[in-house]
Amino acid sequence: MSDNHGNTPAAWTAVTVAMLGFVVGAVGLLLDPVSMTIFWVGVALGVASLVIFAVMAKLGFHESGH
């Protein structure tokens, strides 16, 4: 594995957005009554993180700065 594996702005941004999506989705499921709208917003954020990563990688933010 390379020295910079995952240490790029594209990777960090995607992980941050995905984690936010998991937290939002979990909060939606923890509410009483369960809020499926908030849950699906969290799912959408998780999917959006993949799109964000792909766009940032195409823009060159997934390359090492060495």
pLDDT, residue 7, reads 86
36-58 helix and 9-30 helix, angle to the nearest 10 degrees: 180
Cα 23–59–49 angle (5° rounding)?
A: 15
Domain ranges of the chain: 9-58
Q: Is the pLDDT of residue 64 over 80?
A: no
pLDDT, residue 46, reads 97
User: pLDDT of 2-52, one tens digit each?
Assistant: 565 678 999 999 999 999 999 999 999 999 999 999 999 999 999 999 999
Of 56, 59, 65, residue with least CA distance to 12: 56
Structure tokens at 49: 């993180």
